[in-house]
Amino acid sequence: MSSPAPLPVVPQPDSDSLRDPALYINRELSQLDFNFRVLAQALDPQVPLLERLRFMCISCTNLDEFFEIRAAAVRHAQEFGLPPAPDGMSPQAILTAIHDRAAELVDQQYRCWNEVLRPALQDAGIGVLGRHSWNHRQKRWLRAYFRNEIMPVLSPLGLDPVHPFPKILNKSLNIVVVLKGVDAFGRSGHLAIVRAPRSLPRIIELPESLGEGRNFVFLSSMLSAFVDELFPGMEVEGAYQFRVTRNSELVVDEEEVENLALALRDELVDRGYRPAVRLEIAQDTPRDIVRTLLQNFGLTENAVYYIDGPVNLNRVIQLYDVVPRPDLKYPPMTPRTLRDPDGIFDIVARQDVLLHHPFDAFTAVLDVIKQAATDPNVLAIKQTLYRTGKDSLIVEALIQAARNGKDVTVVVELRARFDEEANLGLADRLQEAGVQVVYGVVGFKTHAKMLLIVRREGRKLRRYVHLGTGNYHSGTARAYTDISLITADADIGNDVHLLFQQLSGLASKAKLKHLLQSPFTLHTGVLKRIEREKAIAESGRPARIIAKMNALNEPQVVRALYAASQAGVQIDLIVRGACTLRPGVPGVSDNIRVRSIVGRFLEHSRVYWFGNAGAPELYCASADWLERNLLRRVETAFPILDPALARRVYREVLQNYLDDNLNAWELQADGRYVKLAPAHDEAPHSAQMGLMQGL
């Protein structure tokens, strides 16, 4: 894989050298680089073929979201003249670098598809046929399918003064057609747009009788091949597919709206037509058409990407589900389950329960909520919901609890990105069932993962709590690594009780005994613990920090880590995605190492460990060390108080991943990531494989 150009890393003389822009990697470019690491999985012959296809599609959908959110934010910064980030790059410089790096990623994605995966699928009996490879029988069947199933749904639009350029929906498939001749009304042909409605399948399977194995065709190929059917009597001189990506960040001034739910509903209507940020177009499209499209979408040359294949390549992920080939997928994993799920409250009353998903089944969390819904001794249930997934069993249990007379309060985060519409519907369902629904806090997304159950036991009330690093989502719990803690600890229960009071009743800032809370104590708590390790190192004693998270960019935390490194603190960071900290800079970050793990499961757990001179503290959290998580969201970090469970988290989530030499990438001082491999005298070790085998 090619690498970004090395950047200068020697700090310049300054009143505060740790603020030198040379010490910071640009967040957007770092986020883009994560997708190269994902794509590397698609190119790894050790990974099963359909899983490789899945990784390629993940890199494509990740890139879509990158443009919808991150690149859109940079364009916003450029338009409003916002100050540069700590790396010092101007928005214009970032946009130029994004284009160059993203174009490189797109090129690798399509090379992966055209030269590696597509031929390998063909060899495995799964054909994805391009229009120039159709035989006579296949073409005849496809033309008939086009006429019967596709053509009746299409509404081509010729472009002229009466028919200006139509609105193009975000990420929709479109064909621009160059026409020659005169139509029925005597109008000379020029350009027309054919939009593919979302009701049409993006990939079509041919009958087995038309070829060996199973064969599929992209809708885009069919539209390009048979578009002449839509313009009888005219000559099609060219047909070129394109797709536009738009800014998808919803903008609602929460201080100015009386009803956030209504405001979001209004905003969602227009989300698909917000300002454009990227144009993908067939690589053989004539320049004058490209210029026309760029002008129409208000884009510059550094926003166009020429595609050697279908513009919606990620749609090939459908093969993963429709082709029953377990031999081409990861072998199934059977997660561990609790021995006595029916007595979950008795178990937790005796001792804390720690779950490491997906190696431990998420069903234990479901069992807690389902049993609470029917237990006559349970009086109240309070829960935060950020993402839940379709047909959520948790939501059904909460509705059942309300119908059974429990007092149920749910904090639904309406602004969970891309889940806003689903969460609006979820809130309506819960309210109809009698659940008290709270929409969080104005200006602060509620991202904390908390469940509180109040249960009468004898003459006393006892609180049972679930805290997690991941969402209450059964699907992601099978695909993401996360930590869950279920506890009846009285102090933690009281902390969570105070947090729910704060969220639902707008109570004043709570003084918590164990939990760290963003936006109040989490940021300062992390900084204080880094400073404590620094002081320990300055006193001549060993000092250590290990932290695992999805992303890192908060400038104060980065500077604190640099200062700790200068004092001699040994720091290991396991950062899956974007990391703006530059490790290995002489005199600044010599003692900091950063690695990223990309494997079968998406690394999602957040764990912070501080050596504390032999009395270590370990926190699991819902928050990454990002500005938004530490300063502009409601988040929690919770300690693992049971020493045995804390040692387990350290062993499984930290040391295990530091030992990985098969799926780990190490960040260099110049911003490059280097894939690690076992040394000649070192046994190969995969952290995720070790956990599947019962580490």
Q: Which residues are catalytic?
A: 447
Cα 364 from chain centroid (whole Å): 25
Q: Are 449 and 517 in contact (CB under 8 A)?
A: no
* Listed residue (364, 362, 331, 317) closest to 345, CA to CA: 364
Quick one: tokens of 390?
């379709």
Cα 358 from chain centroid (whole Å): 17
d(CA 328, CA 314) in angstroms, rounded, equals 18
DSSP string, 148-181: IIIGGG---EE-BTTB-PPP--TT--EEEEEEES
CB-neighbour burial class of residue 540 (10 A; exposed 0-12, middle 13-18, buried 19+): exposed
CB-neighbour burial class of residue 604 (10 A; exposed 0-12, middle 13-18, buried 19+): buried
* Listed residue (630, 513, 507) closest to 560, CA to CA: 630
Q: Are 218 and 194 in contact (CB under 8 A)?
A: no
Q: How far is CA 565 from CA 24, 98, 240, 538, 593, in A?
A: 15, 31, 54, 11, 10
Q: Are 73 and 249 in contact (CB under 8 A)?
A: yes
Radius of gyration of the chain (CA): 27
Q: Are 452 and 463 in contact (CB under 8 A)?
A: yes
Cα 592 from chain centroid (whole Å): 26
Angle at which helices 72-80 and 91-111 cross, to 10°? 160
Where residue 424 falls (left for φ over 0; alpha for ψ -120 to 50; beta otherwise) is alpha
Report the largest interatomic distance among the alpha carbons of the chain, rounded to a whole angstrom.
89
Q: Which residue reads 């050697």 in tokens? A: 308
Q: Within 10 Å of residue 390's Cβ, how many Cβ atoms?
A: 8
Q: Are 375 and 468 in contact (CB under 8 A)?
A: no
In 388-521, the DSSP E strands lie at 407-412, 436-438, 445-446, 450-457, 460-468, 480-487, 516-518
Q: 425: Cβ–Cβ under 8 A, 6 or more apart, which residues?
A: none
Which three-class secondary structure state does DSSP give residue 451? strand
DSSP state of 550: S
